[in-house]
Amino acid sequence: MSQPARPRSALSRLPAFPWDRLEPYKATAAAHPDGIVDLSVGTPVDPVPEVIRRALAGAADRPGYPVVRGTAGLRDAMVAWSGRRLGARGLTHGHVLPVIGSKEFVAWLPTQLGLGAGDRVAFPRLAYPTYEVGARLAGCEPVPYDDPAALDPAGLRLLWLNSPSNPTGRVLGIAELRSAVAWARRHGVLVVSDECYLELGWEGTEPVSALHPEVCGGEPDGVIAVHSLSKRSNLAGYRAAFAVGDAAVLGELLTLRRHGGMMLPAPVQEAMAAALGDDAHVAEQRARYAARRSALRAALLARGFRIEHSEASLYLWATRDEPCWDTVADLSKLGVLVAPGEFYGRAGERCVRVAFTATDERVAEAVRRLS
């Protein structure tokens, strides 16, 4: 019998889903008599702060369609937060756009910008894999870089920055950001700066936004920053993030997303506005992560690991100068699961990424097993 003709899906342009390769090690770790300590995926485990839950519950009765651009209250909150936390100046409602978690935005941005074959999209050599996924979904050429200013600008349409970095926790200073933005503007390349760990700096250089006046000169033209509430507010389950910056680009994306029905649920919009208006829960969550980070860091150092960068974000980028899968295998026998650095690019093949997003009890257990 002949098969029905099926359209070729964009999946054929993507690599295999990497996390499936971790499954055997997860099974080994899960067999530990005292249970697995999963430090692989950086998913929040602490409660959603009360102020946010109240706002969500208070908006339970919303039978109508929400608006893609966000309620006026949410737009006010995004503008106010970006002024207060990023130092961005002169923002209006036209400079902000809510998105359904930042992963969605990262993965579909090249497509939504109308990029395709012949266009190039650049991202850090060691990076969150979704930058490359987004380039491939659109049919663009993915271009990993070490130094953005050393890129060939021919055909380059989109430059991703990511500070603090996932997976390395590296922070770009004002001078580095300024030079990347200046270079991109000179060559007419749109800069999109993924800053979802900006409020999670621990030591060294304080993370700064690409929208800071000392970086972009006070005008957001050609620059967009992406912010997520998943990590700073324990809201990964709500899917709440936003883009802020160049109003002309965001205006086009807004119209496109209205055509496509890409809207945040109304209760999530209320919850997100409440979260952006409250700094106290961010400070509390930071304190929890700081304690977990320092306990795990000490335990890894004592076990012979070297920690690279890791000044910010929710990860320790660790190495024992051996192939990452050997480290993953070894730690899985202790019931501790970590992510192989190779997931973030070939350059990470001798490192592992250790997330400190587990509960205090699980982190203490990991420390005990590593000691």
Number of residues that bind ligand PLP (CB under 6 A): 14
Q: Which stretch binds ligand PLP (CB under 6 A): 96-104, 168-176, 214-222, 250-258?
A: 96-104
Which residue, 28 or 269, has its beta carbon nearer to ligand PLP? 269
Query: Could you say which residues in the range 241-280 bind ligand PLP, by CB under 6 A?
Result: 241
User: Least CB distance from residue 179 to ligand PLP, whole Å?
Assistant: 21
User: Least CB distance from residue 106 to ligand PLP, whole Å?
Assistant: 6
Which residue, 143 or 299, has its beta carbon nearer to ligand PLP? 143
Query: Could you say which residues in the range 32-51 bind ligand PLP, by CB under 6 A?
Result: 42
**Going residue by residue from 163 to 192, which x/- string records binding to ligand PLP, judged by CB under 6 A?**
---x--------------------------
Among 74, 88, 106, 121, binds ligand PLP (CB under 6 A): 106
Which residue, 49 or 335, has its beta carbon nearer to ligand PLP? 49
Which residue, 123 or 183, has its beta carbon nearer to ligand PLP? 123
Among 44, 49, 70, 101, binds ligand PLP (CB under 6 A): 101
User: Least CB distance from residue 85 to ligand PLP, whole Å?
Assistant: 16
Which residue, 71 or 313, has its beta carbon nearer to ligand PLP? 313
Per-residue H/E/C for the chain: CCCCCCCCCHHHHCCCCHHHHHHHHHHHHHCCCCCCEECCCCCCCCCCCHHHHHHHHHCCCCCCCCCCCCCHHHHHHHHHHHHHHHCCCCCCHHHEEEECCHHHHHHHHHHHCCCCCCCEEEEECCCCCHHHHHHHHCCCEEEEECCHHHCCCCCEEEEEEECCCCCCCCCCCHHHHHHHHHHHHHCCCEEEEECCCCCCECCCCCCCCCCCHHHHCCCCCCEEEEEECCCCCCCCCCCCEEEEECHHHHHHHHHHHHHHCCCCCHHHHHHHHHHHCCCHHHHHHHHHHHHHHHHHHHHHHHCCCEEECCCECCEEEEECCCCHHHHHHHHHHCCEECEEHHHHCHHHCCCEEEECCCCHHHHHHHHHHHC
- Determine, following the binding rule CB under 6 A, whether residue 102 of this chain makes contact with ligand PLP: yes
- Determine, following the binding rule CB under 6 A, whether residue 344 of this chain makes contact with ligand PLP: no
- Determine, following the binding rule CB under 6 A, whether residue 103 of this chain makes contact with ligand PLP: yes
Angle between helices 266-276 and 72-81 (to 10 degrees): 30
Query: Could you say which residues in the range 188-247 bind ligand PLP, by CB under 6 A?
Result: 194, 196, 228, 230, 236, 241
CA–CA distance, 129 with 348 (Å, rounded to integer): 12
User: Least CB distance from residue 172 to ligand PLP, whole Å?
Assistant: 13
Which residue, 25 or 128, has its beta carbon nearer to ligand PLP? 128
Q: Which stretch binds ligand PLP (CB under 6 A): 10-18, 101-109, 268-276, 363-371?
A: 101-109
Dihedral (Cα; 53, 55, 61, 67), 10-degree rounding: -120
User: Least CB distance from residue 313 to ligand PLP, whole Å?
Assistant: 8
Which residue, 163 or 332, has its beta carbon nearer to ligand PLP? 163
Positions that interact with ligand PLP (CB under 6 A): 42, 101-103, 106, 128, 162, 166, 194, 196, 228, 230, 236, 241
